[in-house]
Structure formats: C-alpha cells, structure tokens
Amino acid sequence: MEFVSRKKLLLFSGRGTEELAGEIATCLGVELGDVRLSTFSDGELYARYGENVRGTDVFIVQAHCDPINDRIMEQLIMIDAAKRASAKRITAVCPYFGYSRQDHKAEGREPLTARLVADLFTVAGADRVVTVDLHAGQIQGFFDFPVDHLTALPVLGDYLIDNLDGDVVVVSPDPGRIKLAQRYARYLSEGGVEADLAFIDKRRPRGTHDIAEAAEVVGRVQGRVCVLIDDIIGTAGTITAAAEALHARGVGETWVSATHPVLSGPAIDRLKNAPIQRVVVTNTLPVPNDKRFDTLEVLSIAPVIAEVLAAVFEDRSVSEIFRGDNV
C-alpha cells in the first residue's frame, strides 16, 4: 500500500479578529473555516469545528483585544478542540500578543505574565505562533516551539515614504525603542526619504504603569518633521508626553507611527488634544468607530500576515520576506 500525503490549509477566526481574518482569507484565496463559538450564561466559552480538520494545517487567528482574557481563553479552547480533532499542525496567529508588556520584573514580587501566557499556548497544543511586533523580541524565548515574529515596518514604512515631505527625523519615545527607530530610519532612507535619529529620555514614576514623563530630547528636531515610533499605543501617555516635549522644542510637525492601537482609557482624548498631525497604526487590533478620529489612519496588516502564513504552510523562509528586520 502506498499513500502520497497532501497538505490542506484551514483558516479559522476567533471573535476578536473576524474582519482582519476575513481580509487574510481573501489574500490567501481561501474561505474562513466553519467554527461555532459561543458563551454560556455563566461566562464559560465553547468552541466546535463545523468541518473536518483531521490531518490539516490549522491556522487560528485571534488578536488579544478587549476583553483580553476572554480572547486569549477562546483561542486556547479553539487550539485544544483542533488538537483533539486530530489536526496535523496548529498555528496560533496572534496579531497582537496579550500581556507582552509584562515580559520582565521591574520590581520585586511581580509575575512574568508573558511567559505564563506562552506556557498556556504550549499546554493547549499549539505547534507554532505567528505574531506581529512583540513588545520585546526576547519573548520568543518564552515558547518551547517555533515563533514567527512579523514586523509591520513594511506597511507603516511604505505609508510614511509615500506621505512624508520635508526634513524628517525618526524619534524614539524612550531609549528602549532606539533599535526600532534605527530600522525605521534605514527603511525610510532606502525608500528615498532621508531620516535622522533622535530619542527622548522618558521617566516613569516608580510603581506606576500608565504615567510617563518626557525629561529631555536628544537630537536636532527644531523645524523638522518628527515621526514618533512605538509598538503599542495604550493609554497614549508615552506618545503624547513625547509629542509635547517635541512641540516645546519647535518642531515643524509631529507624526506618530505604531503597530498596535490598544487605545485604552484616556488615549483618544490625549491623542486628539496633543500637538500631533497624524497617527498611523495597523489593524492588528480592531479599531471601532467610537475610537476613530480625524487624524487617525488605520492600515491593513492582512497582506503581510497572509504572505507569512503561505510561507509557513509551504515550509518557506519567513525572515527572507522581511530582509531580517523581524527580530
């Protein structure tokens, strides 16, 4: 008896990323898979696949958006259901990976919650994780299986190249984002927009999470177009404090470019009232209408994710897609 194995890709979406998952499916030329997701009256979650997944490559898309704990748990349950239905390989696609900011201990008696969430995916039965712009690249080491770490730089960078005009400087809102700022500056320069670098010395009062103080601007910014870059906009405290510091030093314009629009708490009001001309983000997280404002531009990350999922399915290199910038 001889059997020639054939691979089949199935793409499913949790309830946190249905629009983005639909765009990814369109880019891949496939239909979203049939899965029944519901919530019991006591808050427990339920998942059941409406089609055969035995022997297939299953990709489960879920951004860890609000309510974040339900979104993570739902994806874990979908992974467990696929494993018990004999899927050959299960890839958790997490455009935004929840708890990624809790990747180290800033004070005693704190958890490493990013590691805990990684362990949950391992136990649930995932074989691989695909995610975009982790808060810290070393989070990849928290997993006991392969992680494909994507970057939104091609999407955001191309938009900036097409729309920026003038003397440009890429500004890191804190010293920890300098390497990201360097990659932005290099990408812009390769696209014909020469960009210098600057950074802001940010201080966060001890014991706080959403309060940021911009102490000093390092670099020449006066009269120039400044592009503040970050991976996450949470309450927008860091970004708006940085924008105020740049404004006080007489910049020409301030743009903001970030991958993940968490936009929690006072973020919208802060961004509206800050001296910022444009805020450019991707749809790794859904941005509902009540969180949109005139200067916000939301770009689709779907083509990038779809290209990577195709490469994973076909066992091709992912790093070659990003020319090594996905670290």
Quote the CA–CA distance of 226 and 255 in Å, as a whole number: 6
Taking only the tens of pLDDT, the chain with its 327 residues reads 666 668 899 999 999 999 999 999 999 999 999 999 999 999 999 999 999 999 999 999 999 999 999 999 999 999 999 999 999 999 999 999 999 999 998 889 999 999 999 999 999 999 999 999 999 989 999 999 999 999 999 999 999 999 998 899 999 998 888 999 999 999 999 999 999 999 998 666 665 555 556 568 999 999 999 999 999 999 999 999 999 999 999 999 999 999 999 999 999 999 999 999 999 999 999 999 999 999 999 999 999 999 999 999 999 999 889 876 666
Contact residues for 248 (Cβ-Cβ < 8 A; gap 6+): none
**Model pTM score:** 0.93
Residue whose entry in the numeric block shows the structure tokens 């995610």: 131
Quote the CA–CA distance of 60 and 33 in Å, as a whole number: 10
Catalogue the active-site residues.
Answer: 202
Sign of CA dihedral 258, 264, 268, 273: negative
Quote the CA–CA distance of 66 and 60 in Å, as a whole number: 18
Cis ω on the peptide bond leading into residue 67 (within 30° of 0)?
Answer: yes
Q: C-alpha dihedral over 178, 180, 186, 187, to 10 degrees? A: -160
Q: 231 and 180 in contact (C-beta within 8 Å)?
A: yes
Q: 189 and 195 in contact (C-beta within 8 Å)?
A: yes
DSSP designation for 58 = E
Domains, the chain, in order of start with CATH, read: 9-152+303-322 (3.40.50.2020), 153-299 (3.40.50.2020)
CA angle centred on 199, ends 194 and 203, rounded to 5°: 165
State whether residue 176 is helix, strand or coil: helix
State whether residue 41 is helix, strand or coil: coil
Sign of CA dihedral 196, 232, 304, 6: positive
Tokens of 199: 């950074």
Q: Closest Cα to residue 310, out of 320, 295, 296, 299?
A: 320
Beta bridge partners of 225: 168, 253
Task: Report the half-sphere exposure of 155 (CA within 13 A, side-chain side).
Answer: 24
DSSP designation for 206 = T
